[in-house]
Structure 1
Amino acid sequence: MAAIPAVAAAATSVFTFINLSTSLPLARITHCRLRSVIAASSLSNTEFNINFAPPKPKPSPPPIISTSKSDNDSEEQLYTPWIVRDGKGNPAPASLLHAMAIAKTSKKKKTKTKAKSENAPKSKPATFSTEPKYSKAARRFYNENFRNPAQRLSKILAAAGVASRRSSEELIFQGRVTVNGSVCKTPQTRVNPEKDIIYVNGNRLSKRLPPKLYFALNKPKGYICSCGEKETKSVMNLFDDFMKSWNKRHPGEPKPRLFTVGRLDVATTGLIIVTNDGEFAHKISHPSSNLSKEYIATIDGEVNKRHLIAISEGTFIEGVHCTPDLVELLPKQPDISRPRLRIVVHEGRNHEVRELVKNAGLQMYALKRVRIAGFRLPPDLMLGKHVELTAGNLKTLGWKK
């Protein structure tokens, strides 16, 4: 009971202090009041029963799962195997775990690199997937000296469409060609149309050569394969419309000079290649290329087995014994009354198929070429029409464009 007057006295002093200091701010008044209460409570020996809020519960550790079955599971202390602990069962500090992890990963990396170095083959030197870039001066030097090398004068004239190679040589021998202001009478002279000034019959040769062209023509009967200007029914006359529209389709480019690859007789129809590429024509037409050519021969009369044997045995043409690769009698068709033979040759001698049929005692009614190497005449290509060859067609002919 003696503590009650002491508390009352402390409270009275506090209120008195508040009344005297009404001019002070509220925060200072509250602070002073708390200090007075604490001081009064410390002077008295009274014990107050003050209860504070309970502390926040700590998160419970995850349940320990035992992998081994035993009867004394409740008595034994279980530990998770992936937690490192010391001898007393306490978990190891985080710094130790971090150091152990770094050590393990570094060892694994080293072993991997060793295994790779032992088993892997020797590395190849690095190669550029794209061409490196050079300066303008380097590109100019390359283009002037290596990109377009000098070629023979007669070949340049033929490629430019002036005339055939033989006719170009005749023009050079006649002194009608000048190179850099001087008359040149040697067809083997090396020139470059981009660097040298070439005149033919007073007309300057264009620096730009025409693009390479390749056509498949279905040659009709009565046309010859000569490129002479005096011929009225030449194969080249079938390209008149193409040449007239050249300037519209290719402005600024010189007109190409087209010619046939090999020849067909006047009476022979079918597939023939027309181009302005001399190297391509030489490779296709040369006997060393061994390109097979397929013909369909229509015979006037009956064909027996002895005729087929006679054709397969071959005949002599210009002193050379020529034998076909294949001779076959095609089955009869309702719309074709005459028998037909399929004959395949590869040498390409002059009149070879006609001589083989004549030597067998047969009379030729019509002859048509339908295939050269792997390229076959399109069935929808009409007589006198042409179609431009694609890169795939040239590949079947054994030429890479």
Structure 2
Amino acid sequence: MTSDFFKYQAQTTPHPLAMEISHAEGCYIYDTKGKAHLDFVAGVSACPLGHNHPKVIKAIKDQLDKYLHVMVYGEYIQKPAVELTKLLSKHLPESLKKTYLTNSGTEAIEGALKLARRATGRSEIIAAKNAYHGNTIGALSIMGFEERKQAFRPLLPDVRFITFNNAAELSLITNKTAAVILETIQGGAGFIEPKEDYLHKVREQCDKVGALLILDEIQPGVGRTGKLFGYEHYNCIPDILVTGKGLGGGMPIGAFTASQELMDCLMENPKLGHITTFGGHPVIASSALATLKEITESSLMQQTLEKEKLLRTLLVHPHISEIRGKGLMLSLIMNSSELANALILQTKERGLILFWLLFEPKAVRITPPLTISNEEIEEGCRIILSVLNNIKQQNSTSIF
């Protein structure tokens, strides 16, 4: 299987971890040698209820017996998609009423950018330095990290960049700006939270000049920060909310949500303003609906903040310079990139899955399933501290 993996499946890095998977259950992934790996990554935040959650699996199996894909998005009334978008609306402010379901977070970003340009009649998009919103050409154009973009230029024109948390640069948002797009918590940059009411100040400037505010909640959304969406912590409501990853409960999904007035712009002038074949797929929508119900009807979000406290209490070590993030969206900032690499690779050998972040080489991702128990957190932290106590800095390199 390993040789076929490298021979037939396209890779994204020269050195993938290449663990051969047998099955997964709860907060554990099992390889084909029978070894259990405690999962502190959750598919890069995509599995908030862990692996093979019974309610998610039941929803998927029940829908499989009814129908799979029947028509391109938006033409037929399909119960899973309708119930999912209705439940989202129930838990969002009145101004975020209608949801367009897509196949991925990056496709939702594309839809949000198109909607902003269509609604405002403007072309300029303002994004943040060190931002990550996906890898399609539009999403790549608003990525604030030139090293990842330069090989694919030319990209979209009329994109400008500001520094996250720098209120002095908000004057760059003008009446030429269609939208400002920001991650509520910067992900690839190292899980950087907004400070000093930054998002509210962005919101005020957008209102002043008639620009739309798009918040990317693909990582922090769906309960990961202790609220259903991260913006609830920061005194700011976006015009367009983008989500994905965890919403699918382990299935591929994206979504962008706005007011009815905004979203109706995609119906006319031109018609079919945004179209997709498989968006809102009934099986995936069923998985997402079960996931959203479980997160909103249980105590998982409240538990997330308590689990954050436990992780911060346990993970104290001279090799760790700080812990960034909120809830179960945390990153360990190590004293060097070599330490980060060694920790990730050596804990893997001890049965604990950690991972890198895109742009911050000293960061180690901790984004476990929201269902992780205190005992599992303690087990994982024991492995981390044991490795750090005995770590030998290797000349290993990040897969990124």
Structure showing greater radius of gyration is 1
**TM-score, with length taken from structure 1:** 0.22
Q: Which has the higher helix share?
A: 2
Q: Highest relative contact order (Cα 8 Å, sep 6+), 1 or 2? A: 2
**TM-score, with length taken from structure 2:** 0.22
